Amino acid sequence: MGTKERYENAAAELADVCARAGRNPADVVLVAVSKTVGPDEVACAIEAGARDFGENRPDQLMTKADQFTDVNWHFIGNIQSRRIRDIVGRAVLVHSLFEERHARKIDEVARERGIVQDVLLEVNVSGEESKSGRTPDDVRDLLEYCRSLKNVRVRGLMTMAPQGDSDIARKTFAGLRTLRDELASELPADEAESFSELSMGMSEDWREAVEEGATIVRVGRAIFSDAF
Ligand SMILES: *Cc1c(COP(=O)(O)O)cnc(C)c1O
């Protein structure tokens, strides 16, 4: 099986899982995480219908986003201050913001360029030490800070679940959803409406994530690797 077929299978299964969960497939974006492959595989996925791609390194984001300009590029990796200029504007959505100083810099660059950068706040729901992100208790402060920035718009939350146990993954996803609902309920109505995204679920656990309300799933190996 090649990338084209694997993408088609993933998209079809996503539609099935949505239907069974009583959700509209149009409400869940499948982000194909192309970080391990080159442009040829990206082209295959586009041929199969992929419109959203994720990268975790600024270099890869730059080369691929500048080559494939008709699709959406998401930045899902570790943010470094000195690379923020390479990310802002190229990424339709930055999934991995969890530090004020990065928010401030994104705002500064976005303002210079006359755009508003959409971002998600990364939350370490499970408390695993190896995971980055804000603790659930600390997200409110960061959200408040971002609301004071005119060129950053927070669209929702992102998390990564511990791998290897689907029950724990499900609890992690449910926790992120509860947190989003709580934070949204504290926002003015117009802001609450655009604070709606839940980026959660990867190759191993995207099904559980969709059942728990994911609006964006980030799938790499299940699309780009024949070893998964
Ligand atoms: C690599 C990566 C993914 C995709 O992981 P797979 O297990 O290959 O599906 C999703 N999200 C983030 C943040 C990643 O770094």
pLDDT in tens, 85-133: 999 999 999 999 999 999 999 999 999 999 999 999 999 998 988 889 9
- In this structure, the strands spanning 152-158 and 117-122 are parallel
Question: How high is the mean pLDDT of the chain?
Answer: 97
Which residues does ligand 1 sit against, CB inside 6 Å?
33, 35, 56, 76, 160, 202-203, 218-222
The letter for the amino acid at 38 is G
* DSSP assignment letter at 88: B
Predicted confidence band of residue 53 (pLDDT cuts 50, 70, 90): very high
CA–CA separation, 186 vs 102, rounded Å?
A: 24
Report the pLDDT value the prediction gives residue 1, as an integer from 0 to 100. 87
Quote the radius of gyration of the chain (alpha carbons, Å).
17
CA–CA separation, 215 vs 104, rounded Å?
A: 26
Percentage of the chain with pLDDT > 90?
96
Calculate the alpha carbon distances from 12 to 17, 25, 133, 174, 183 in Å. Answer: 9, 10, 31, 24, 33
As assigned by CATH, the class of the 3-224 domain is alpha beta
CB 176 within 8 A of CB 216: no
pLDDT at 159 over 90: yes
**For residue 181, how far is its CA from the centre of ligand 1 (angstroms)?**
25
Predicted confidence band of residue 192 (pLDDT cuts 50, 70, 90): very high
Predicted confidence band of residue 191 (pLDDT cuts 50, 70, 90): very high
Residue nearest to atom 4 of ligand 1 (CA): 220
